[in-house]
Chain A
Amino acid sequence: MTDLSAQPRPARSPWETPNPSRAFKVAAASTIPAGITTVLTLVFGIDPAVSVLLIFVPLQVIFAIAVGRNVAGKKGQGDAVLMFTSVFFTVLVAVLLTSLLWSIISQGFSAMSWHFLYQNNVYIDPTTSLEYGGVGHAIVGTVLIVGLTTLVTVPLGILIAVYLIETRDKSRSTVRTLVQAMSGLPSVVSGLFVYSMLIVSGVTTYAGWAGSLALLPLMLPTVARTAEEALRLVPVEIRNGALALGSPAFRAFWQVTLPAARSGIITAIILGIARIIGETAPLLLTTFAAKNTNFNVFGGPISSLPTYLYQYVSNGYDTSTQRAWGAALVILLLVAILFTATRIIAGDRKRPKKKA
């Protein structure tokens, strides 16, 4: 009699069973060209850029095609080449990024010290040794300028988002298009606008609030669009429920919609800050750079981290370049903090959605 009892399912799907000869071929194809290239480069002293381009790439393509054809037939050739191209360019991007991050971190830390974080730039020449002076005044300036911009832009951006989501006005699409157009405003043009309108015409001298004004059109589109997305994610039932219970629209927004979209709104704020914290050109045209610590956003030149960096790069001395790297590291750390905060908050927002 045939056995009709249930057979255990195989642990793996058929295409997942390990295939040693195939694994060996793939491993060989991915290592041999690199090995040959390394040996040739070292033996003949060829320039690495040349050997990668003229020896490694052709060899690797030939190996990939051969193995792809051997393993999967004609179909495998294209796949192998696509795979190689993809990995090659991804590695190139990774190398560029690693170089960028590594140079900021290594060079930055060599300029970094506690006093670098709190001292200001008075009595400092481009050639003064790194034992003196720092970016304290620039950190204060960045916080003040960006803070003022945030204070003005965030309510404005959220209100625009409210207008786009909560009302049914006819001009919504116009507003949306123009806000999007604003995101294409080159930062230097924004700075030039404020420079020419306020500073050349003599309304004010270089001042922090002029810088904030120049940053406003750069931050507004980011905040408005992200806040719009956040408000859109709030289920319409909650909103209608509040309205059906008889609450006025503004109360429904303030007590129901806004708390529900809180994490999204915070993300919008942080993304907006990240967008402007490294902006240099508009600040160069509007706040200039000061050596002393200036706590007054409404009067006198004020330094910020990007303008500090710019100033010291332009000097060209070794110590001043070191200071620029130090400032770059501080900016990177600020961006990383904002970035992590966004991730955490955005993660909080996504988790309950997946459960539902």
Chain B
Amino acid sequence: MSTSSEPTSHSPVRRTLKAKPFSRADRMFFGVARSASYFSVILIALILVFLFIRATPAFQSQGIGFIFGSNWNTSNPHHIVMQIGPMIWGSLLISVLGIILGVPMALSTAYFIEFMAGKTMARVATLVVDLLAAMPSVVIGLWGLVVFTPVASHWAELLHKALGFIPIFANTSGNFSASPFIAGWIVAVMIVPIITSISREIFSQMDRELINASLALGGSRSSTFFKVVLPTASGGVVGGVLLGLGRALGETVAIYFVLNLIFKVNWFNIIENQGGSVASMILSKFGEASDAEISGLMAAGLVLFVVTLVVNWIAAYIVNKAQPWRKL
């Protein structure tokens, strides 16, 4: 028994099975599928190449100042200045604010749904979070403009009164609306459902035995959460946060509604009535853009795309690493 099942040196070399489509119909079927896939590859390459070609004149005429400078003046056709430094910085500032505000909310909600709520409550909460994830951003933007801005500018005013001596909460204009603070909240409302659903998914797929072992060894719920659940799930959570960051960077219309776009770097005065966002800037400028200006907008779009791509790739890598049980 034991000898027959063990491989010996006399056993034949293992054959590799190769199935190739042999009928014409099959070849056509797989050919169509293959060409559809290659079409998607070509499409993304086409977008990148086209953006790059159209953006080149702007990069050439503006040089490195395109990314770091802060001026946009296209009134004189012989001397066009296009520098989007404040917009890039503004996009990053808003995204970071959104993540600072959104991550605690998202993690708490995920913890509540997965570990605290009863079955019915958890189902309702999941449904609601998923519905929020499907909410179009333009609708959130409308809500942000009409309903949320008055409330949030009141909060910002209180912050300024209490903590105005700290530069972050300084405000010289006396106008608390249309600030990065409000845009950050709006972004938070958009990314909370994304981060929540990914974290919840990861929490729920975690090995229950790990948690039970920690509890059985005398760990409290909080020490179990911070020392067992979070470290195990950290990869997935970070990936979810980065996916949210990708969404925040590309957010256009909602931020356009609630933010005052100014071509002057607002380093960290988050409740000042000025800020920037690359995507919203593109939307605000394209209408009456000349050919040279469109090239500048293309360059801005390219910068945004590349940043988002990098963020997304890192996110996908981390999420896949964090879920070894998920086969590709």
Give 1 or 0 for each of B91-123: 1 = CB within 8 Å of chain A CB: 000000000000011111101100010000000
Beta-carbon nearest neighbor of B103 in chain A? A89
Cα A189 to Cα B46 with chains together (Å) = 13
Contact with B along A235-250 (1 / 0, CB 8 A): 0000000000000111
- With contact pairs A82-B221, A196-B54, A278-B137 given, residues A185 and B112 touching in the complex (Cβ less than 8 Å): no
CA of A64 to CA of B134, assembled, Å? 36
Q: Does A178 lie within 8 Å of B44, measured CB to CB?
A: yes
**Is B220's beta carbon under 8 Å from chain A?**
yes
Interface mask (A155-173 → B, CB under 8 Å = 1, otherwise 0):
1100110111011010101
- Assess whether A163 is in contact with B220, with CB atoms less than 8 Å apart: no
* Choice from A104, A188, A249 contacting B30 with Cβ under 8 Å: A249
B192: chain A residues at CB < 8 Å are 93
| CB <8 Å contact, B253 and A310 | yes
Binding site for B on A (CB under 8 A): 47, 49-50, 72, 75-76, 78-79, 81-83, 85-90, 92-94, 96-97, 99-100, 103-104, 107, 155-156, 159-160, 162-164, 166-167, 169, 171, 173-190, 192-193, 195-197, 200, 216-217, 220, 224, 248-251, 253, 274, 277-281, 284-285, 306, 309-310, 313, 321, 324-325, 328, 331-332, 335-336, 338-339, 343
**Interface CB pairs A-B, < 8 A, 20:** A78-B220, A86-B116, A90-B105, A90-B109, A156-B36, A159-B33, A175-B40, A177-B313, A180-B312, A186-B305, A192-B51, A220-B43, A248-B25, A250-B25, A251-B25, A278-B136, A278-B139, A280-B136, A280-B253, A324-B142
- Asked whether any CB of chain A lies closer than 8 Å to the CB of B267, the reply is no
3 nearest CB pairs, A to B: A278-B136, A186-B250, A89-B108
User: How many chain B residues have a CB neighbour from A under 8 Å?
Assistant: 89
Give the A-B pair count, Cβ closer than 8 A. 259
B140 to A100, Cβ gap below 8 A? yes
In the complex, B282 has a CB within 8 A of chain A? yes
B228 within 8 A of A: no
Within 8 Å by CB of B143, from A78, A100, A184, A190, lies: A100
Expressed in whole angstroms, the minimum distance between the Cβ of B157 and any Cβ of chain A is 10
- Alpha-carbon distance A310/B137, docked complex (angstroms): 11
Contact B134 A103 (CB under 8 A): no
Q: How far is the CB of B100 from chain A (nearest CB, A)?
A: 13
Task: Return chain A residues, CB-CB under 8 Å to B25.
Answer: 248, 250-251
CB contact list, B66-88 vs A, under 8 A:
none
New A-B pairs, 12, CB < 8 Å, besides A99-B147, A200-B294, A278-B139: A89-B108, A93-B129, A175-B38, A178-B40, A181-B44, A189-B302, A197-B50, A224-B40, A280-B253, A281-B279, A306-B136, A310-B253
Judge whether B34 and A169 touch: CB under 8 Å: yes
Name the residue on A nearest B313 (C-beta). A181
A310 vs B309: C-alpha distance in the bound complex, in angstroms? 27
Do residues B139 and A331 form an inter-chain contact, with CB atoms below 8 A?
yes
- Per the bound structure, the CA–CA distance linking A182 and B107 in Å amounts to 27
Tell me, yes or no, whether B316 is within 8 Å of chain A by CB: yes
Contact B246 A184 (CB under 8 A): yes
**B207 at the binding interface (Cβ < 8 Å):** no
* Contact A200–B253 (Cβ < 8 Å): no
Q: Does B164 contact A (CB under 8 A)?
A: no
Does B298 sit within 8 A of A, measured CB to CB?
Answer: yes
* Contact B252–A335 (Cβ < 8 Å): no
Contact (A100, B40) CB under 8 Å given A192-B282, A281-B279: no
B29 and A100 form a contact (CB under 8 A): no
B210 at the interface (CB under 8 A from A): no
User: Chain A's nearest CB lies how many Å from the CB of B146?
Assistant: 6
Name the residue of chain B whose CB is nearest to the CB of A306: B138
Cβ-defined contact, B220 with A103, below 8 A: no
In the complex, the answer to whether B116 meets A83 with C-beta atoms within 8 Å is yes
Complex-state Cα separation, A309 to B135, whole angstroms: 14
B139–A82 touching, CB < 8 Å: no
The residue of chain A having its C-beta at the shortest distance from the C-beta of B311 within the complex is: A184
Task: Contact check, B135 vs A100: say whether CB atoms are below 8 A apart.
Answer: yes
Q: Is B32 an interface residue (CB 8 A)?
A: yes
**A89→B104 contact, CB < 8 A:** yes
User: Which chain A residues border B225 with CB–CB below 8 Å?
Assistant: 82
Residue from B23, B129, B138 having most chain A Cβ neighbours under 10 A: B138
* Residue from the list A89, A90, A174, A185 in contact with B308, Cβ < 8 A: A185
A81: chain B residues at CB < 8 Å are: 222
Q: Is the CB of B112 within 8 A of A79?
A: no
Kindly state the separation between the CA atoms of A181 and B316 in the bound complex, as whole angstroms. 9
CA distance A280 to B138 in the complex (A): 7
* Interchain CA distance A159-B30 in the complex, whole Å: 9
Assess the B257–A313 pair: CB atoms within 8 A. Answer: yes
